[in-house]
């Protein structure tokens, strides 16, 4: 069963980039997050991942990532912004650590796409679990 987001190919690419930005924000991209991204994309498109989306996933470079442009591409056509934020939250929380970098990232995306944070703020605040910093050897 596909999710009810009507994304054109450019918007799907923008969403993929936003998700990749999220999972790379804490320098801890792992198998659980990769698996969740695959599951979400499979539901969104109800079929195989388009070649362009697969290329974006393979070639993603956080240093060249432009969050504002991705958000502009999503809102060029009306997209349910709260659904986008809920999907980002789903990816962020899959590893059971929702740290401050992820919180700030999702809050910034929500602001850029006009998500109604009154509905989502409880999830954002209650879901935070600070990931302790790594202790050097």
pLDDT tens by residue, 99-125: 788 888 998 999 999 887 676 654 544
- Among 70, 37, 66, smallest CA distance to 54 is for 37
Separation of alpha carbons 22 and 45, rounded Å: 20
**Model confidence at 67: pLDDT above 50:** yes
**Model confidence at 78: pLDDT above 60:** yes
Domain borders along the chain are 9-126
Secondary-structure class of domain 9-126 per CATH: mainly alpha
Please tell me the predicted confidence (pLDDT) of residue 119.
Answer: 64
Estimate the crossing angle of helix 9-25 against helix 31-45, to 10 degrees: 160
Q: Are 44 and 6 within 8 A, CB to CB?
A: no
């Amino acid at each position: 069963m596909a999710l009810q987001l009507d994304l054109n190919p450019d918007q799907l690419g923008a969403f993929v980039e936003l998700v990749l930005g999220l999972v790379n924000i804490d320098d801890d991209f792992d198998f659980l997050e990769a698996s969740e991204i695959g599951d979400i994309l499979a539901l969104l498109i109800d079929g195989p991942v388009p070649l362009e989306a697969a290329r974006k996933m393979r070639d993603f470079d956080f240093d060249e990532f432009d969050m504002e442009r991705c958000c502009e591409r999503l809102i060029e056509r009306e997209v349910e912004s709260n659904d986008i934020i809920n999907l980002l939250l789903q990816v962020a929380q899959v590893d059971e650590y929702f740290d401050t970098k992820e919180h700030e990232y999702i809050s910034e995306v929500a602001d850029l796409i006009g998500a109604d944070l009154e509905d989502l703020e409880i999830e954002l605040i209650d879901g935070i679990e600070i990931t302790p910093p790594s202790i050097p050897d």
